[in-house]
Amino acid sequence: MAASTVRKTELPKKFHQAVLKWRDAYMPDWGFMEANWKKYFPHQPEFQLCALNDCSVCPHIEVGVDKGKPKFTSACEMNKEQADHLLKAVKAQASTELGSIQQHRLTLARADDEQDQFWILRMMAEELRHGYQMFSVLLNDDWRSVTDTSGEDMVEEVLNMRTGSHVLGAFNIDFDSFLDNITFCAFIDRVGKFQLDMQKVSAYRPMSESMGPMLREEAFHLATGVGPLRRWAADFGEGKGTVSFDMMQRAINKWFPRALDMFGDERGGGRNVAFGFKHSKNGEAMMAYVEEVDQLVRDLNERFLRARFPDLDRDRAREILDKNESYEGVHHDDLLSLPDVKFFRRRGPHAFEMRDRDGGEIHDFESFRQHMMAVLPEPYPMGRDFMNYFTRMEKVANGTLTPVDAMREMPELSRVGGTCACSNAVRWVQPENGNGAANN
């Protein structure tokens, strides 16, 4: 992507200021990041909070029923169904970007390694820019011409979301340790990479122009997770470090099902393709994701084996993994693995089924409860996310709630009241003339 093809813009002043206010509330280490940027990233340009649009994208719709026609450049060129569908995706994308910042900040200070901590901080800054990018998509068009809402209202709604009220479940989970920060980057941000890649073809040109710059930054987010996991796997093989395979496995059990849910029902996604907004259906993208993270887990196991047994060459280590062999007292069950895709699901055909890690059915609720306690990180089942899920799961198990109704019970959006700096996100920003509160 040539630099000359990328256009930089800022949001209208009151919205730019609103994002800065939000940043001050949820990223108190921003000044530290700016002061130390060159120390950790000497060859990277200094961070800028702006929207980046790649103007070199294909000008014609690349998939769907309108393939070959010029891409939409304004909302009024779409019908209401298309516009509503696209707006839901933009809102969800914006919500995930800000939601992840709210999660990461909880355990950022618990990192054992200063570089790991700073990489997470850079990732948070880039997530803020991605949210800013989606706000640009919402604000630079007249959505009221074709939908029941405005971009301004949607921006304010997203700025007022907190952990527990975001659009997607993965972003409503409180982090319990720095292992959550790292596993989240490796597994959840990887879903983000898939989603951005699918939306590169978007029939709405401002959306497709946004994807390239975001994807380039998303690669760093994956590295922020994969790098420490590789190091921890090798350290554990050498009998050192503070992160065991049991801890890593429990974290994978926690986050992998939420990653799968982010693709939506694996039987759906056809309308996105028909409308030209994505190039793949949900199930196709999800299975490609599973293959990719399976290779990640395999890589971690290989690094562990070669660190545990320094004389073991790569070919032999891979043969052991391929054949599920035991080696010098290390058994297949001692290594990391992905849970079955049916395990701990909240969306799709297996939502709210009582399944064990291997996908087997569990027939009584108490056995299911005990199994979940045994395979998830110790603090997590005591938290609000799991308790909300478990309350619904118990009702499904005793027949007082259907799986479909359990899926529909999304978090209730609520504004932050009182003196929180993010309260009434845009309205507390002074208008340019300084007279009273700005109207959105």
Percent of the chain having pLDDT more than 90? 89
Average pLDDT on 365-372 reads 97
What is the helix (H) or strand (E) element at residue 51, kind and residue range?
Answer: strand 51-54
In a domain, 217, yes or no: yes
Query: CA 414 from chain center: how many Å?
Result: 21
In a domain, 320, yes or no: yes
Note the pTM of the prediction, 2 decimals.
0.92
CA distance 307 to 195: 35
In a domain, 221, yes or no: yes
In a domain, 358, yes or no: no
List the structure tokens of 316. Answer: 């032999």
Question: Look-up: residue for tokens 């093809």?
Answer: 5
Give me the count of residues in the chain. 440
In a domain, 173, yes or no: yes
CA distance 63 to 138: 23
In a domain, 356, yes or no: no
Question: 33-39 long-range contacts, Cβ below 8 Å, gap at least 24?
Answer: 33/118, 33/121, 33/122, 33/125, 36/118, 37/122
Confidence of residue 432 (pLDDT cuts 50, 70, 90): very low
Number of folded domains that form the chain: 1
Q: What is the CATH number of the domain that holds 271?
A: 1.10.620.20
Kindly tell me if the per-residue pLDDT of 422 is higher than 90: no
In a domain, 68, yes or no: yes
Instruction: Please name which of 178, 318, 333 lies closest in space to residue 241, comparing C-alpha atoms.
Output: 178
Number of H helices, E strands in the chain: 14, 2
In a domain, 108, yes or no: yes
Query: CA 123 from chain center: how many Å?
Result: 12
Range of the domain at 99: 3-338
pLDDT tens per residue across span 294-349? 999 999 999 999 999 999 999 999 999 999 999 999 999 999 999 999 999 999 99
